[in-house]
Amino acid sequence: MTQTEYQNAVKQLQKYSYHYYVLDDPITTDEEYDILYHHVVAYENEHPDEIIPDSPTQRVGDVPQDKFDKAQHLSRMWSLEDLFNREELETWVNRITKGYGDVRFYCEPKFDGASLNLIYDNGALVQAITRGDGVEGEEVTQNAKTIQSIPLRIEYTGRIEIRGEVVIFKEDFEKINLERSRNGESLFANPRNAAAGSLRQLDTRITASRRLVFMPYGIGANTLEIKNLSERMEWVYGLGFRNPHMTHLCESADQIETFYHEMRVERDNFAMLLDGMVIKVDAIAVQDELGYTVKNPRWAAAYKFPAIEKLTTLREVIMQVGRSGVVTPVAIVEPVDIEGVTVERSTLHNFDEIERKDIRIGDKVIILRSGDVIPKIVKVIASERTGSEQIIHRPKHCPVCHSELLDEGALIKCQNLSCEARVVNSIIYFASKQCLNIDGLGDKIVEALHNAGMVRELSDLFGLTMEQLLSLEGFKEKKSRNLIDAIAAVKGCDCWRFINALGIEHIGEVASKTLCGAFGTAFDTASREAILALEGFGGEMVESILEFSRVNSEKIEKLRTLLNPVAPIKVEAHENPFKGKSVVITGSMSVPRDSIKAILEGLGAKVASSVSKKTDYVVYGEDAGSKYDKAVELGVTLLTEREFRSLTSLADTTPTAQGSGVHPKNSLFD
């Protein structure tokens, strides 16, 4: 790549990002973006003195900060006066129109997030400061640069403050809390707290991973000659900032009220949370004359939406078992009306979260409902306790089938293959491609067989008859025969497929192969010590295997007899560069990746699914993605498919793919 090609590539990446993060209108695929991004990274690694300051690669720093320094805003950031009803709205509007006659009001959504002030000088983003006390806040410039919807450079030669709200989309908020739950971390109470916490991470990589979004709402210090706020905001959007697309100019309290109700109706359709509507006088000259009180601008107010948090009482906790067997506690609360919806249930996430918040039956609690987000308990009012509250105990047995539960802290799971709550999902997984790969046994057919009472557990599959299948809607003789033949064909399957198909928590393909290699088909009789001695097996995995084997011992034996799985024949691999090494495969190859995987396993390599410090090689093809980036970051040896085949002496016997021609300095072939 030449310097000119590099500069053009950076511009193209910036264009891609603008369409994706600002316009919500992607103009390329993730793969195409990643390919171009990799080329830019490679060029910058070789020419560090030519890196463009606003290159997409410069958004995330490598070294965590020690602390946040205080910084002053160029002009004060004010709080808004709150309005809660039509009467207060009319009073506020009349106070302005009485002195200034016909005034237009600029109305926009009030986003529920963390306020941020961006300072640009000669087009470059030089500072990002949190609201703080309005005069001084914390400088979070490096973190702000990770937010894709914040331009690193704008077309403006002066010094200007662009102000907005940093938010997290509702969908991303749920993903963050799900991940935190899995990791045993405390959950964020709401997207606002998540946004504020994410913006103040000392490690910019954590901030970057949170998918924060910047929504501009105003301008601070500036030298603009644009006379109206509405026109100024259009100018801001033209600089490359995100447009909320629901703003309106109103000329009376009636029009404001009408637009307010329209926004309330649309509230749940917004990707992020809204807690009201902001009303501002449009004419800048009138704003200047109205001025400020001690705390608020007289020319702006927040017309708040009705509360989505209410106080209620936790009456009882019931247990729900999901299709994967995970047991989730659900709170039954005293019915409470939140925005016209009667809420009687709330998610409690998991038992670790119950213990962290010290939630008890009989507690007074604050419950939050936001759009289509499941209502949740965000706070316990411990000061209201009478002493009659009851501690919520962790369940020991499945509420559906009463079998013993696997308790891993945040995760409590029923592993009984015959549990009515999870049997359908167990059969679907059993037949899936990565397991026994039973052709023709898809989700809908499994559900039909279960609903008809023909398959209540896995072993029932092998007793299906033509007569039974022909009685189902949509089944003719050929389709029925094909399914029965497909089920019969899996008998004599590889041992690892048998273990993997059982759906043991934490045990996937790699672990299944390790178990087969060590114990053959009798994995369920192995001792705790023997399993712990296996490479890559930790305490949670071992307990999961032992618990599963205890609960399902008879079913495992029955399936083993029906399937007659074949244990692997141990053949010592000859000496080669991959023997005993950990290898990850990523990208598109000239042949299916399973073929590459089979070659590596035949050479005695362990094929892993993710890149870590323990990875020895990453074999990559076209459109390599995040695993490639991780390998570069950790200094793992990278091999193109051609280089891989050269090392295995297979280059002349199997079709090869062309490499990219760019090899990082940690390649074997430098």
Amino acid at 2: T
The catalytically annotated residue of 110, 376, 413, 606 is 110
DSSP letter for each residue of 247-280: -EEESSHHHHHHHHHHHHHHGGGSSS-EEEEEEE
Is residue 103 within 8 Å of 286, Cβ to Cβ? yes
Phi and psi, residue 632, nearest 5°? -60, -45
Of the candidates 244, 104, 95, 280, the residue with the CA atom closest to the CA atom of residue 165: 244
Residue with tokens 């305490």: 539
CA 319/CA 578 separation, integer angstroms: 48
Structure tokens at 615: 């990875």
Strand, coil or helix: what is 92?
Answer: helix
Is residue 585 within 8 Å of 571, Cβ to Cβ? no
User: Which of left, alpha, beta for 506 (phi over 0: left; psi -120 to 50: alpha)?
Assistant: left
Is residue 104 within 8 Å of 255, Cβ to Cβ? no
CB atoms within 10 A of CB 182: 11
Kindly report each contact of residues 184-187 with a partner whose C-beta sits within 8 Å and lies 24 or more positions away, as own/partner.
184/352, 184/409, 184/410, 186/353, 186/356, 187/349, 187/353
Identify the bridge partners of residue 357 per DSSP, sorted by sequence position.
none
DSSP letter for each residue of 124-192: EEEEEEE-TTSSEEEB-HHHHTT-TTS-SB-S--SEEEEEEEEEE-HHHHHHHHHHHHHTTPPPPSSHH
Residue with tokens 């178990």: 515
Is residue 107 within 8 Å of 301, Cβ to Cβ? no
Structure tokens at 569: 């024949």
Is residue 290 within 8 Å of 127, Cβ to Cβ? no
CA torsion through residues 529, 531, 536, 541, sign: negative
End-to-end C-alpha distance for the chain, whole angstroms: 18
- Told to judge if 304 belongs to the known catalytic residues of this protein, a careful annotator would answer no
CA 157/CA 595 separation, integer angstroms: 57
Q: Residue 241, exposed/middle/buried by CB under 10 A (0-12, 13-18, 19+)?
A: buried
**Which positions are catalytic?**
110
